[in-house]
Chains A and B, each alone.
Chain A
């Protein structure tokens, strides 16, 4: 079945450590997205990519980095510069076309040790 796979499901970060969240899709979608979800809040866009080897900052990109070397993969690195990384991180992808919906993975929950 086609879909979006996020791993790991749970991740713990130590002080000063960078961690990388994986997002893989086999839907052949060009566009991919990373969101952060905090309790009681909606989704906030971290980074997005509309094509391989290109990506743009979203609303809260500080302390995060991404790469898009392959169409299927869009990993997110939470750097030590992100002082409050505890959140639920969601990856999504979308077909090209203004009316196409985004499809989501099942998320990674990141916590501070």
Chain B
């Protein structure tokens, strides 16, 4: 079965430090991977995606993600965290078995401390 996991419920980072939010996946074919961010009482905003090509994908708000096929991971990163980055982050993978719907991770709460 295809799946995606976000192993950390919460990540705490000091402002100005680099941040990483982890995501691992399990799919039978080539993965289409996505990262979204959600601020309180708002919808999800698309950050970036990996379809094919360069393993380092750049997205919105200075975020980037590294696709690692051997480790089946797609970790979200940012070189220098801002307090305004504090939010809920979701990783998702396209489900090849179910009409190309998305399989969602449970989400990781990112807290950036001043």
The answer for the CA separation of A41 and B45 in the assembled complex, in Å, is 17
Contact B43 A107 (CB under 8 A): yes
Contact count band on B: 20 to 34
Given contacts A99-B32, A99-B49, A101-B34, contact A48 B101 (CB under 8 A): yes
Q: Whole-angstrom distance from the CB of A56 to the nearest CB of chain B?
A: 7
Closest to B105 in A: A42
Contact, CB under 8 Å: B43 / A104: yes
Instruction: Say yes or no: is A69 at the interface (Cβ < 8 Å to chain B).
Output: no
- With A43-B90, A104-B43, A107-B42 in contact, is A99–B51 under 8 Å at CB? yes
Residues of A with C-beta under 8 A to B51: 99
Quick one: given A56-B99, A99-B32, are A105 and B106 in contact (CB under 8 Å)?
no
Cβ-defined contact, B45 with A50, below 8 A: no
A71 at the A/B interface (Cβ < 8 Å)? no
Q: Is the CB of A102 within 8 A of B32?
A: no
A50–B102 CA distance with the chains assembled, in angstroms: 14
Chain B residue contacts of A110, Cβ below 8 A: none
Residues of A within 8 A of B22 (CB): none
> Closest approach, in angstroms, between the C-beta of B101 and any C-beta of chain A?
6
**B28-70, CB < 8 A from A:** 32, 34, 36, 41-46, 49, 51
B residues in contact (CB < 8 Å) with A: 32, 34, 36, 41-46, 49, 51, 90, 94, 99-102, 104-107
Task: Given A42-B107, A102-B44, output 4 extra A-B contacts at Cβ < 8 Å.
Answer: A4-B43, A43-B90, A99-B51, A102-B102
